[in-house]
Amino acid sequence: MIAITGATGQLGQHVIENLLKTTPASHLVAIVRNPK
């Protein structure tokens, strides 16, 4: 399991996009300050 903090930020979005190329989404957790 990989947790990404700041997932809605500019860098966080790029990190998630690249991780999804090699890692199943079920192994990722996106941590955000405000879910809206």
Under DSSP, is residue 19 helix (H, G, I), strand (E, B) or coil? helix
Full residue range of the structural domain in which residue 18 is found? 2-31
In a domain, 36, yes or no: no
Residue-level pLDDT, tens digit, the chain, 36 residues: 999 999 888 999 999 999 999 999 999 999 988 766
CB 19 within 8 A of CB 2: yes
At residue 8, the pLDDT reads: 87
How far apart are the C-alpha atoms of 30 and 12, rounded to whole Å? 9
In a domain, 18, yes or no: yes
Q: How many domains does the chain have?
A: 1
Q: What helix, strand, coil percent values describe the chain, rounded to 5?
A: 35, 20, 40
Segment holding 27, helix H or strand E: none
At residue 35, the pLDDT reads: 67
At residue 34, the pLDDT reads: 79
At residue 33, the pLDDT reads: 87
In a domain, 26, yes or no: yes
